[in-house]
Amino acid sequence: MPRAIYVVGGDRQVSNMFSNHGYNVTQNFREAEALVFTGGADVHPFLYGERELKQTQTDWIRDRTELNLLRRVPSQFPKIGICRGGQFLNVASGGAMWQHVDGHAEGKLHPMRLDGLDKGRMVEVTSTHHQMMIPTAEATVIATAAKSTVKMGDGRPYNKRKPEEVAERFEDTEVVYYEHSNSLCFQPHPEYGVLNNPCQRVFFEIMNEYVQFKQMKG
């Protein structure tokens, strides 16, 4: 019996990716064994206690809709986030965001280093985001990248690295998992590109390793 997942908002590329990997993409979230949150606008900084910087572009209606959905499921119900979806789950799990970074919105492939699975393995991934997750101390950091020279946030020091320092310092948090909320936060886009591309393969490897699937009750 294939696992049933509910893609919040019905993103077609993400839905097709899961279908192609043998998952049942259900239209009824109460039939699902996991919720999948997808890409889009920035998460509103109000949700992590900051004012909105000029580079931040939000969709408060979407934030409220997805927060309301979270309130309708048990705290340990499986949640998977891709790009903005990962950032949303990071914030919902107590984390914050760098509101603007460079190097990640280019849409090109860049190396991501696995820190929590096959430690040290490098995978080429695509990212289109201009923000970066700041996980809590409770988070398990699974993968990092070395891309950004600038990180900006409200109330935090302006962080700038020389370009020659970037390649050696994997400080950009790309993938984290929160055990207390059973949330996988994956910033790259595994749904982009051909079926079973390296980013897609490592996404499913990480998901199968960390996410504890379970059926909805009630």
Could you read off the pLDDT tens digit of each residue along the chain, which spans 218 residues?
Answer: 789 999 999 999 999 999 999 999 999 989 999 999 999 999 999 999 999 999 999 999 999 999 999 999 999 999 999 999 999 999 999 999 999 998 899 888 899 999 988 889 999 998 899 999 999 999 999 999 988 888 899 888 777 777 666 666 788 999 999 999 999 999 999 999 899 999 999 999 999 999 988 877 55
The CA-based angle 11-68-77, given to 5 degrees, is 75
pTM of the model: 0.94
The architecture CATH gives domain 4-210 = 3-Layer(aba) Sandwich (3.40)
Measured CA to CA, the distance from residue 86 to residue 177 in angstroms comes to 10
Token readout for 116 is 């929590």
Token readout for 37 is 């949150």
Query: What is the DSSP secondary structure assignment for residue 167, as one 8-state letter?
Result: T
